A and B are shown apart, each in its own frame.
Chain A
Amino acid sequence: MKRNTKLIIGALVIGCLLFNVSCKKMLDMKPKDQVDVTNAYQNVYDANAAVIGIYGQFMGLADRYIVLNELRADLMSPTANADTYLKQLNEHSETTDNPWADPKPWYQVILNINDAMAHFDQMLKEGKLKQTEYQQRYSDIGTLRCFLYLQLGTQYGTIPYVTDPLANLSDLNDVNKFPRLALPDLVKKLAAFMNDPARYLEIYTGADPITGSTNASLITNIDGNATNLFFINKYAFKGDINLWAGNFTEASKAYKYLMEYGFERSTFTDADVKKYEQFKVVSTFGIAYTNGSEDQLVDSPSSGYRWMFSNVTGSDIPTEHLWRLPFSTTFGPTDPFINLFSNQGGNYLLTASKSIINNWNSQVQANGFPYDARGKIAVRTLNGQPVIMKQLYFYLNSTTFTPINPLQKLGYWLLYRTSALQQHFAEAALNDGQNRIAYSLLNVGIKNMYTPYAPNTPPSSFDPTNSEQTNLAFPYNFDGRGGGPQNYHKSWYKEIGTRTRANLKMLDTTIINRKIDLENEIIDDSARELCFEGYRWGDLVRIALRRNDPAFLANKVADKLALENNPNAEVVRKKLMDPKNWYMPFKF
């Protein structure tokens, strides 16, 4: 009996000791239908899943990106259907409870990027990622983070610049992890990240450079969409952030590199026109008239100016699109633009401002038509209402402009295209003292401006051998020679300038020497070309900041309101004269 007692107590003591050893393991229960942190980031496929997840989440920002950049600027206006919150954006009177002004969705993506970047570092250290795999992924989402921060900076002015992964809740209370940066400092930080020579700025490789295997590549096909345009174009962003930072040569270098991609670095053969067209403004997507009459504007889903908004599979589309993400009809998020813009199947909350309509109507086309025909494509009158069309061409029937299927909300988020590239290049060149190049890019193209006859067309016998080129050092070394007795096909020979593509009358060449006027023309033409695509607010802030001229921004916004008889127009003008008031309140 006594022995029994001792035995049991002994067993109990041993049991207690063993318990604490095995207990930790037993209590470490990992979620079964989610992935525990200890199981994530084990190999390159996990790294890919992180990238895919980040871009998936990023798509949820599409409506914010467009609405904030357009409605807070001067090209978009709320309709009568818009709620208080959209009206607040229009009048720069955002309250902190305005869901559009909530910075959280941006940070949600940023923190995921931080987490992934920290894990990529770890994986590289542990040999779970090869150097090339690491650098491609790290640079890609790192650039996306810069893009997001630039957005936050332009919308909120001063923001917490978080790069720490914030592994657990207590990190949220560590103020050192949330350094606050004002827009100019932020831009410098972002430019430094992008200019780091370690960055891999090309698109993802389709195959492993060593093994040739394509298994781990992010360049693939999802639901019929090639993924190569899903990811941010890092050269384009590098150019943009340097343009913001005032490193104009650096910006031009990035733009130039990209614009000559087709000619210098692609696999296109000489027979392939894309070799000369890729990422340059050429006549392909231009405003054209079939027989010169006004009602014969080329306006079809697969040609002319509309083409680039209504087609993604056309063979020329990759020469214009640099970054786009498709909305799926089966997976979330649903295309938000249909609800915002469409008066059929949507709530028609936002429409084009009078200001942009006036802008288009202030132009004269080369054939004398007294308006810019791009406006006819960007905005259409449907059921008596002006409807922003750029994002709706996939949803509406191409001839009747009624929903193809009201429930199938098909559409794309077009984030970057060649027109933006060329306009930004023009701006960078202008600010880098290359006024003539800027003028050329905006107007008629390099080829046409670098002849002794410019701006007139040279005679057909003209030998361009020593002409049609800039003869400058990189990045301003353009060679636009084409034709002639030698039948030149140089890199820039097809490039025609943004205004020419839009069939607009050429600007007077005297403007070349009036830098501010020329820059104003670039910005005004950007409005006509890139409206509703998310560039406008950034353009206004950047120019106003660089010129230290708040009126540049304030007047444009206030004029929009005044044109629409908004009683608050003058209040807003006065308010925006102080750059501090450009920004939405940031709820820290």
Chain B
Amino acid sequence: MQKFTKTIGLFLLLCLLGSIKVMAQKPDSTSAHMADSLARYRQDSLIKAKSPKVTGTVKDAATGKAISGVSISIEGFSAALTDDQGHFQIAAPSLDAVLMVSYQGSQRKFVALRGLTKVPDILLFEDTYTSIYDEAKLPFGAVPASRLGNAVSSVNTYGAWEPSKLETADSYLQGKVAGLNVIRRSGTPNIGANLILRGFNSLYATNAPLIVLDGMIFDTQHYGNSIIGGHVSNPFGNLDLHDIDNFTVLKDAQAGMYGTKGSNGVILITTNSNPDLATRIDLGLYSSYNYFPQSSLLPIMKAGDFRTYLSDLLGTTALTSTQIASLPFMNDAPSNPDYFTYHNDTNWQRQAFANGYNKNIDLRVSGGDNIARYVLSMGYGGNKGITPNTDLTKYNTRFNGNLNVSKNFTINTTLSFAYSSQNLRDQGLSRKTNPMFASLIKAPILRQQDVNSQGVESPNQADVDIFGYSNPSVLLSKSQQYSQSYRFFGNFNFKYQINRYLAAQSLIGVTADKVRENIFVPRTGVTDDTLANGSVVDSRLGSQVQRLFNLYNDTYLSYNRSFNNIHQLSAYLGSRYTQSDTYSNVGLGYNSAIDQLVSVTYSVPTLRVAGGDLGSYRWFNHYFNANYSLYNKYIFGFNVTADASSRFGNDVPGALHVGGISYAVLPSGSAAWIISSERFMSGLKFIELLKLRASYGLTGNDDIGNYTARQYYVSQALLGQQGLVRANFGNPALQWEQGKKLDLGIDASFMQDRLTIQADYYNNQTTKMLTQTPTASSSGIVYAITNGGGMKTNGVELNVNGRILNKPNLKWDLGFNIASYHNKITSLPVNNLISSYAGANILTSIGHPLGVFYGYKTNGVYASNAEAAAAGVSVRNASGNLVAQRGGDMRFVDVNNDKVIDSKDMQIIGNPNPDFSGGISTTLSYKKFTFSALISYVKGNKVYNYTRRMLESESNFYNQSLAVNNRWRGDGQVTSTPRASYGDPSGNAAFSDRWIEDGSYIRLRSATASYDIPLKNKYFKYVKVYVTGYNLLTFTKYLGYDPEFAVNENVLLQGIDNTLEPQVRNVQLGIRVGI
């Protein structure tokens, strides 16, 4: 019965959509008829003659001089040009009309008449000025910010000529968009960033905003992990930043127009659009220098301190003093044959970093005629990483073309191909193979090369040391981690203008992406590994191929019309379709005979592991979108999508069911009121624009796994024979995660557009959030994937831009944005889930934000055995036994006062979500000089310093930080650093607030000085030289290399420093020539 009602409902909906089309069709056909007739022209002239006349003056904002030849128009009604004095007169349909003012090289401006027949002087800024009239490139066309009814941010790159190829499109956005928290994953070239728009919406599904590039979804999901330790393959690496014109970020329910892919917002990217007819060549050449200053090295022990620490530590082992004395490194007699092996003071850390030069070239050619226009771009980048022997080489090409086949038929195309190859090294938790980690923990008493008893060094690098640790110099010079990737991304967009108001469009495109990785870790000099079956691993070899192929289509009818210059309606009815196929194939091998055999084919056959994955899904997104504005003051938007996907269960409760398919029906709406366009506001001259807006709607997240809803079988071996067992329970009710987004915003501009302000409050709620739901014991499975959770994120954003100085030769712009979000889990099938990573516990709990750290709180160190005995507290060790605390042990807070420190005493010890974050940008231009700077900042986030925990654990032969010199050494010593104890029986290094630090920072993200060389030469349009510095200054209290890092996109792992390459400091010198 319910199904029947829903079917009827859908039918009615279709009828409604149909009737809109019919209604649209009627006036449409009449007007189309009229369009060609003289009668219409006469009628228009008659109306114009009767209309009120509006006059005004246009001036240059900086010089105050009048500008002639400025185009003034009222859309679909009248147009005029300014005269020599900058005056104009234009007929207006009513005094609620809006003038569009445009002039080459200047901003395009919209002026509401507000009932005036003589408008105040119109000041025009240059076209790169950040103003309230900047256009947002929305899916169905560009809309100036002043007319937007939704929370949208737009970033124009103006060619993005300053950044080098070390910067990718995702990291470029850092500090530029209020509410978009960009966390660069590490300092590795191309590694990209986590984009977090308005906090989090999901626990297990993606939290990354959808990327739509030139009208087509740019797939940025990761399909499988890298086999290179700590590496993340970044799809943005295959999108050249220099090709991008504009980023438009949809932050609120408007993202719902992408249905079940829109819950994390949408970033629309436009490349090389609107080429001029004139042929134009732009060439950019730039070199840069990466460096890692010595002052940034971590303070770790030198040989002297380390020796003392070593003896202290050995004293806590089971070895007797005679045994300790007989250890080769404890024998200080130069006659000792191992004397030179163990009597060195090597600064391993310094060797883990290298400075390097980068070379980049960009070439862009554009031009065309009335029929066809094109932009062709090519680029090359050769960049070094800060780890020795790592580099990145990139090639990219792009062709964008517009072809007018006939008056009504146009074809747009964008085709791009990019290739990159990169030499990497393991990073992150690969303790044995991460050279950076190995260099921190390696004992300074050792040396890189083998040495004989006379102290003569051999050309051979030293093997694994007496403590069992790898030789960092071997990892840097002999191990190979290599990644190659390419992406083809191209589409054709056919557009047919059926009549003046109605058009049909269809975009069809493909994405073909491939990532190939090879690894080799030599046997000599690297600590052995052990496989699950107990086999000892000497050398490690591997290769992986990941492929992605997406087919995309977006077809729609559009209808645009203005009725009597009062009503403006645009409506779109269409459907998007994606078919995605992913493939991955990984082969890992071990123990090739010699270190010269580096391909996986040389590994021992019996130890080889092969794996892979095939995934496919299809997605349909049917949409209807309507925008209506009344008197240019009241703006309404409505959007509804009905999504079907092969990922959804076929019996989703409460969903629309048609023909056995569950549809996600997601409506959203927005309303805006431009108060400043009201006549009563005409007296308030300091207000350029004032707009209130509100939006609310539903979005969805379809990242629920391709086959999670289905019941399927996986292979189960019985010895060498494969049988099949059921892998899961089918879950026909499995559905998209549902997001509700509310946004209240204000857009304002004051003092003739000298100061613009955008402020937003939002409240996002996720329901039907994917969770791992524990099931009854008799289900035989640990948990089921169900839509059992919920989450809430609310926050505020503020974006302010202003021109502080506005003189003809001196202009100073300052902008800042700040955003804050509060995330809270509202429901879970079972509360208090604890995840573990790098020794940290991460708590997921109702009422708390995502990703909070969960561990012990500490309260100093027991100064004496007597003090510890008096406290009478024991620590429960891993095997469940109690260990009494003694002097020099950490005093953990015993929450339940049971005198036992165990998991019951854990509490929340840090929240990795920032209090607020944002950016400050400034540009100062003086004559031909321009100075610009971007500052990014984050405040109040807590981070877990895993690296420091390893360097201060005092439980093994790792080299330690200088803080360990302050360790507890004897009864009565008051210190905050516990005693050294081999194996850490008292759990002093357990996950506690000792390792949680404040991750706040403020950073000079980039600073550029450029100079336009004045030229009289007619061949050169411009020559610009510039110097840019990146990450030059960072202010932070964080004790690690750099406070900015991300393990990967997993929201539960935010704020964990697992020893990744720190951010690169870079100085760049460039020249750009326009011909």
Write the residues of chain A forming the contact surface with B, with a CB cutoff of 8 angstroms: 1-2, 4-5, 8-9, 12-13, 16, 19-21, 23-24, 26-37, 40, 46, 48-57, 59, 83-85, 102-112, 115, 159-160, 162, 166-172, 178, 222-223, 225, 230, 326, 328-332, 334, 345, 406-407, 409, 586-588
Contacts and interface: CB of A to CB of B under 8 A. Distances in A.
Given A5-B25, A55-B723, A222-B721, A168 B659 contact: no
Contacts of A48: 723
Contacts of B616: 29, 32
10 contacts: A4-B498, A34-B712, A103-B778, A109-B780, A115-B726, A166-B779, A169-B729, A172-B729, A331-B717, A587-B777
Main secondary structure of the interface of B (DSSP, over half): mixed
A330 B720 contact: yes
B780 A586 contact: no
A482 B823 CA distance: 86
Interface stretch (B623-631, B703-711, B917-925): B703-711
Interface in B769-795: 775-782, 784, 786
A84 B778 contact: no
Nearest to B717: A331
B974 interface: no
B223 to A, nearest CB: 13
Contacts of A32: 614-616
Contact of A588 (B730, B776, B881): B776
A172 B777 contact: no
A168 B734 CA distance: 11
Given A24-B660, A52-B722, A55-B718, A172 B780 contact: no
Given A5-B28, A49-B724, A83-B880, 5 more contacts: A5-B498, A32-B615, A36-B713, A40-B713, A169-B729
B370 interface: no
Contacts of A12: 557, 573
A46 B780 contact: no
B314 interface: no
Given A55-B723, A169-B731, A107 B777 contact: yes
A105 B25 CA distance: 65
Nearest to A85: B880
A102 B498 CA distance: 68
B719 A326 contact: yes
B871 interface: no
Interface residues of B, number: 74
A586 B716 CA distance: 27
A387 B93 CA distance: 101
A162 B656 CA distance: 34
A112 B725 contact: yes
B580 to A, nearest CB: 10
Contact of A31 (B707, B729, B775, B782): B707
A33 B614 contact: yes
A107 B779 contact: yes
Contacts of B533: 329, 334, 407, 409
Nearest to A7: B498
A27 B646 contact: yes
Contacts of A170: 733
Interface in B607-666: 612-618, 620, 644-646, 648, 658-661
B37 to A, nearest CB: 14
Interface in B531-559: 532-536, 557
A225 B532 CA distance: 24
A31 B706 contact: yes
Contact of B778 (A28, A29, A50, A162): A162
A105 B730 CA distance: 19
A566 B714 CA distance: 46
Given A223-B719, A326-B719, A23 B661 contact: yes
A50 B712 contact: no
Contacts of A587: 777
Most chain B beta-carbon contacts within 10 A, residue among A19, A59, A329: A19
A273 to B, nearest CB: 31
B733 A169 contact: yes
B596 interface: no
A50 B502 CA distance: 59
Contacts of A9: 21, 25, 557
B780 A108 contact: yes
B49 to A, nearest CB: 30
Interface in B733-789: 733, 775-782, 784, 786
Contacts of A588: 776-778
B69 interface: no
Interface string B4-30: 000000000010001001000100110
B707 A34 contact: yes
A83 B713 contact: no
B11 to A, nearest CB: 12
Contact of B720 (A46, A57, A222): A222
Interface of B: 14, 18, 21, 25, 28-29, 32, 498-499, 502, 504, 532-536, 557, 573, 575, 606, 612-618, 620, 644-646, 648, 658-661, 706-707, 710-727, 729-733, 775-782, 784, 786, 879-881
A24 B620 CA distance: 11
Contacts of B720: 222-223, 328, 330-331
Nearest to B573: A12
Max chain B C-beta neighbours (<10 A), residue from A13, A27, A331: A27
A49 B780 contact: no
Nearest to B575: A19
Contacts of A407: 533-536
Nearest to A225: B719
Given A29-B706, A112-B726, A168 B29 contact: no
Contacts of A223: 719-721
Given A54-B725, A83-B879, A110 B718 contact: no
Given A83-B879, A111-B780, A27 B711 contact: no
Given A112-B726, A407-B533, A33 B646 contact: no
Nearest to B18: A13
A29 B660 contact: no
B780 A169 contact: no
A225 B780 CA distance: 29
Contacts of B32: 1-2
Given A26-B618, A103-B777, A172-B784, A52 B723 contact: yes
A172 B573 CA distance: 42
B620 A331 contact: no
B782 A104 contact: yes
A105 B777 CA distance: 9
Given A55-B718, A169-B730, A107 B780 contact: yes
A106 B613 CA distance: 29
Contact of B713 (A2, A23, A34, A110): A34
B775 A172 contact: yes
Contacts of B778: 103, 107, 159-160, 162, 178, 588
Contacts of B617: 29
A31 B618 contact: no
A162 to B, nearest CB: 5
A34 B710 CA distance: 11
A35 B25 CA distance: 50
A191 B617 CA distance: 48
Contacts of A106: 780
B722 to A, nearest CB: 7
Nearest to B714: A34
Contacts of B536: 407
A178 B532 CA distance: 37
Nearest to B581: A32
Contact of B715 (A16, A53, A105, A162): A53
Contact of A230 (B658, B707, B716, B718): B718
A390 to B, nearest CB: 21
A35 B776 contact: no
Given A84-B879, A104-B782, A27 B644 contact: yes
A53 B782 CA distance: 19
Nearest to A96: B777
A328 B733 contact: no
